[in-house]
Amino acid sequence: MRTRTMGLFLLALFVMALPACNSSTDDTDSSATAPPTYKPPAKAPEPKPAPKPVPAATAPASQPANTQVVIETSLGTMVVQLDDKRTPITVTNFLQYVDDKFYDNTIIHRVEKGFVIQGGGFDTSLREKETRAPIINEGKKGRQNTRGSIAMARTPDPNSATCQFYINLKHNAMLDGGYCAFGEVIEGMDVVEKIGAVPTENRGGAFTSIPADQVVIRSIRRK
């Protein structure tokens, strides 16, 4: 009997310790409207610093403009633009002669009316100038031998060009591919035509159509 009374006493204490059950619905309970699985953060995250702007990739350096040279003659001046990228070997060779002032006081020693004017190899005393070694023929990579184009003169050996050049007075299609055209006259084509119309005479050898009155290349310089 004493044991039973003690058990009832402990049961009463246990029941009194339980929290009261609230059966009413609290409309302000956010858990009732929170999306399933949503757990609000305990602390608002700190804003991340804005990423540093990534510098744009450096644009490749633009290709240099094609080199231009000024040819000053006793009958006027012309400007020639060279095909640096298309015929680099030929242009490099020509510019080395230019920079060495090789062409100063050389002559136009050949004028073929309606065909070409040619020079750069003989001085005013008609002496042939000493040259460097010949270069590889880039004729198949070069432009066509159109009117106003400048090209390398050579012997029957395709790879024999050194210093002499010619300027076409018309489109000489039969020379395309075999004779390397490496630039064009962009100013002073009237001077080319004037030279192409001068009277000529035959003195034999390399001078079968040399101007009767000497046409001198006073200088060729980079523009």
Local structure of residue 15 (DSSP, 8 states): H
Q: What is the pLDDT of residue 61?
A: 45
Q: What is the pLDDT of residue 64?
A: 55
Q: What is the pLDDT of residue 216?
A: 98
| Contact assessment for residue 151 and residue 168, using Cβ atoms and an 8 Å cutoff | yes
Q: What is the pLDDT of residue 22?
A: 38
pTM of whole model > 0.75? Answer: no
Torsion of CA 103, 106, 110, 112, to 10 degrees: 60
Q: What is the pLDDT of residue 49?
A: 45
Q: How far is CA 121 from CA 14, 179, 220, in A?
A: 124, 17, 13
Local structure of residue 169 (DSSP, 8 states): S
- For the record, the structure tokens of 132 come out as 């460097």
Q: What is the pLDDT of residue 38?
A: 30
Residue closest to 200 by CA, chosen among 118, 145, 143: 118
Q: What is the pLDDT of residue 182?
A: 98
| Contact assessment for residue 184 and residue 81, using Cβ atoms and an 8 Å cutoff | yes
User: CA-based angle 26:31:35, to the nearest 5?
Assistant: 140
Q: How far is CA 206 from CA 2, 77, 104, 155, in A?
A: 149, 25, 20, 12
Instruction: State the CB neighbour count (10 A cutoff) for residue 87.
Output: 24
Q: What is the pLDDT of residue 86?
A: 96
Domains of the chain: 68-222 (2.40.100.10)
Q: What is the pLDDT of residue 149?
A: 98
Bridge partners, 183 (sequence order)? 82, 150
**Which helix (H) or strand (E) covers residue 117, if one does?**
strand 116-123
Residue closest to 79 by CA, chosen among 201, 2, 215, 191: 191
**Which helix (H) or strand (E) covers residue 170, if one does?**
none
Give the number of residues written for the chain: 223
Q: What is the pLDDT of residue 145?
A: 98
> What is Dmax (Cα atoms) for the chain?
157
pLDDT mean values, one per 10 residues, the chain (223 residues):
45 38 38 33 42 39 75 98 97 98 98 98 98 97 97 97 98 97 98 98 97 98 97
- For the record, the structure tokens of 133 come out as 């070694």
Rg of the chain over CA atoms, in angstroms?
46
Q: What is the pLDDT of residue 44?
A: 39
Q: What is the pLDDT of residue 168?
A: 98
